[in-house]
Each structure stands twice: as structure tokens, then as C-alpha cells.
Amino acid sequence: MLQAEERILRSIAGRVPVAQILNEICTALDCQIGNMVSLISLSEDEVANTEEISRNAALFGLHLFFSAGVLGECGKELGSLEMYCCTMRNPSCCELQVIDRAVCLAAITIERDGKENREISHRTWEKRLEKESVSGWPV
């Protein structure tokens, strides 16, 4: 995961879209562990209904391998990671370390996106207030 992690960190720093980075994380996980299908869903993502995804995975003979919440710095749930495998088994200690790192990268990615959106919103309001005060409207 080390090479993939470096690439993912460059993508985060380069402001690559969140969906693309989360896909990179899942691909790296799938390749590192093997015979895996991973999905990272955002908390506000209504399309990614966990029960529906589990039912669909079962139709293809996939079993839940691992599931974890993606938590932000303050403990807020930002999303979730679901991993499915062809055989029923539990992750090894080494696999858990890789998964934990992937969850951390996902949290960094999602938080960066949320922070940027808040900054854009804040700058928009500042410009609007500045414009209104220049035009003579009371602030």
C-alpha cells in the first residue's frame, strides 16, 4: 500500500475530486488484500444504502469481509468502508493495519473536501458582505 499511499496523498494535496481519491483508496485495498471489492460511502450519500449493497453483494456470492466507520478528527462519522470477499473469512492482523490506514486516508480526503467547501462558503459570504457594505446597504 506504500506506493499507492504516496499517490493518494499526492492526489489529496493536488485537490483531485473526492470520489476519484476514494476510488483510488478502494482499488489499492482490493489489490493489496486480493479477491476483494471495497466501497467507501459518504455519510450524506443516500444512494449508498448499506443493506441494499449487502443484498446485491450476496447475489454475486460475496460475503462481508470488513465494515468500518470513517470518522473525522472530532469523532464525527464522515462515511463508511464496506469490504466484500469471495470466501467467508476474517482479516488478518496485517490486513487490519492496511485497512486502518485506508480508513485514515479516506477520513483525510473527506475532511479536506468538507473544509474546502466551508472555506468557499465563508469567502462567498465575506464577498457578499463586502459588496453590500460598499453599496450602502447596512450590514
Reference 39, options 85, 93, 77, 108; nearest CA is: 85
Backbone angles phi, psi at 86, to 5 degrees: -70, -25
Reference 20, options 106, 118, 116; nearest CA is: 106
pLDDT tens-place string over residues 47-86: 457 778 888 899 999 999 999 999 998 899 999 999 999 9
Q: How far is 75 from 56, CA to CA, in rounded Å?
A: 30
pLDDT tens-place string over residues 86-134: 999 999 999 999 999 999 999 999 998 776 554 544 455 455 545 544 4
Which class is 2-114 in CATH? alpha beta
3-state class of 91 per DSSP? coil
